[in-house]
Amino acid sequence: MLIHKYRTIRSLKICYWGPSMSGKTFTVTAIKVIKTLEDPKSVIDFVTVADQATGRTVFFDQAVFGFGKKPNSDDFLFKIHVFTTAGQKRLIETRKVVLKGIHGLVIVVDADLNNWEENIWSLKELKELKGEEIKAGKIPYTIFVNKQDLPWGTKISQRHVRQLFEAADVLDVFPDLDGNIFCGSCQQAKDALSILLKNTPKEIILNEEGKFKKEYRPEAFNPLLKSLEHIVKLVIKKELATTK
């Protein structure tokens, strides 16, 4: 019965939203890397459209992940299409295009206190474009506070998120912050994996199928993965409720 219900769900579209240089592309890329190592079949596609000179996203990045293994099968119950938005202010029209038809949001906050106003601008624009749908519960969300590798006193931590959202005047749109905030660092995840792969023999960290053993996954990846897994669960729950 549960499998039958899942078949009624379309491929899901999740959007990573946040200011320029907050780490949206870096986050999705890191998730793609660890998933490729642990289960290559779960990474179905990965495309980035970036400026070659600067490396900054100019339209979107897209990753397609398989989620939920079918019983007695290597196939997945559904596909998650993950998009990032270009954060540069001048690219608002491309953000509008990427936001069309989304089922869920991961709001990426730049933890650098120097970018406090950039975060506020990004939240205000999101409220303007999708505020009514989010407020009505049509678009679930989670929040990922990136760059937690910054020194204490120079970064936004979990306890500052409500202050940030209050300063942006968006708490009416995002009243349920508790339980939806994840804090981590893409840079720490990348560095930890690089050190592990460099210093650990392959026969220790790979199983007989050549897949990366999950017990060796650096802890720094957990907030990145959990923020995505949490929004996927929220979206599926909402979609299943609408198919009854």
Q: Check whether 50 has a pLDDT greater than 60.
A: no
Amino acid residing at 44: I
CB 19 within 8 A of CB 119: yes
Q: Check whether 2 has a pLDDT greater than 90.
A: no
Residue 221's CB is within 10 A of a number of other CB atoms, namely 22
Q: Check whether 212 has a pLDDT greater than 90.
A: yes
d(Cα 16, Cα 28) in Å, to the nearest integer? Answer: 8
Give the mean pLDDT of 216-222: 97
pLDDT for the residue 89:
78
d(Cα 121, Cα 16) in Å, to the nearest integer? Answer: 16
pLDDT for the residue 241:
82
pLDDT for the residue 7:
56
d(Cα 115, Cα 109) in Å, to the nearest integer? Answer: 9
d(Cα 68, Cα 79) in Å, to the nearest integer? Answer: 9
> Token pair of 14, please?
């999740």
Give residue for tokens 């299409």.
81
Give the mean pLDDT of 27-52: 86
Q: Where are the alpha helices (DSSP H) in 102-221?
A: 116-135, 161-167, 186-199, 202-205
- pLDDT per residue as tens digits for the range 141-160: 999 999 999 999 999 999 99
Strands 43-50 and 57-69, by their bridges, are: antiparallel
Give residue for tokens 């397609």.
64
Length of the chain: 244
Q: Where are the alpha helices (DSSP H) in 1-115?
A: 2-7, 24-38, 92-99
pLDDT for the residue 9:
53
Which phi-psi region, left, alpha or beta, contains residue 55 (left: φ > 0; alpha: ψ -120 to 50)?
Answer: left
Helix axes 24-38, 222-242, angle to 10 degrees: 90
Give the mean pLDDT of 66-75: 78
- pLDDT interval class at 85 (50, 70, 90): confident
Q: Check whether 240 has a pLDDT greater than 90.
A: no
Q: Check whether 4 has a pLDDT greater than 50.
A: no
Strands 76-85 and 57-69, by their bridges, are: antiparallel
pTM: 0.90
> Token pair of 173, please?
């749109």
Average pLDDT, the chain: 89
pLDDT for the residue 244:
58
pLDDT for the residue 54:
46
> Token pair of 186, please?
């893409």
Q: Which domains does the chain have, with CATH numbers?
A: 2-187+221-242 (3.40.50.300)
